[in-house]
Amino acid sequence: MTTRLIILNGGSSSGKSSIARALQTQLPRPWLTFGVDTLIEALPPTVRDGSAGLEIGPDGTVAVGPTFRELEAAWIAGLAAMARAGARIVLDEVFLGGPASRQRWEQALRGLPVLWVGVRCAAATAAAREAARGDRFTGMAADQAESVHRGLVYDLEVDTTHRSAADCARLIAARLDCPPPTAPPPAPS
C-alpha cells in the first residue's frame, strides 16, 4: 500500500510549509498541501479570537477551546475522506497537545498509510525566522520548538536549523513507497 499522507509536525516557523512546497516539486505524482494555518484562516473571527475557539496569548502561547476542537474534528475527517478518495496529501501540522493531537489524526486515518515526520528547528533559529516574517506572534516559535514533539515518535525526523527545506524534502521523499507514475501508452501509428 502506498503512502497517502505525509504529516509534518513541528512548531511555528520550523519550515514545515517550505518543506511541503518542496515535496510538491520533488515527488513524481501530484500531492496537495494543507496546513493548520489553512484551517485557522477559514475560521470566523469569533472562533479565531476567543476562548471557545483559538486564543493566542501575548507571549505566543496558544490555547484551544471546544468550538475549535469541534471544527478541527470536521477538518480532520474531511482530509481523511480526501485521502481515502485517492488524494495524496502533505499536511503541515502543529501538535499542541502532543500525543493527544496525534491520536485524533490516527483515529481518523485508521487504515491509511501515513508517513509521520517530525520537523525540528532550534528555538533561536525559529524565533529569528518568526521575527523576520513579521506576521507571527512573538514567542510562539520558541514556545513550540520542543513542546510539540514531547512524547511523540516519528517515522522520520528532519531538522531545518542547518538543512534547507529542499534537502529535508529529499530525505522525506526517499522514505516514501510511492511508485513513479506510469508512462502513457504510445500513440497509435
Q: Is residue 53 a contact partner of residue 64, using CB atoms and an 8 Å limit?
A: yes
Q: Which amino acid is at 164?
A: S
What is the distance in angstroms between the CA of the first residue and the CA of the last residue of the chain?
Answer: 36
Q: DSSP character for 135?
A: S
The C-alpha cell at 177 is 513507497
Q: What is the dihedral of CA 164, 166, 170, 176, to 10 degrees?
A: 110
Q: Which of 28, 1, 9 is nearest to 155 (CA)?
A: 9
Return d(Cα 76, Cα 112) in angstroms, integer: 13
37 flagged as catalytic: yes
Which residue is catalytic, options 37, 155, 159, 167?
Answer: 37
Return d(Cα 185, Cα 189) in angstroms, integer: 12
**Catalytically annotated residues:** 37
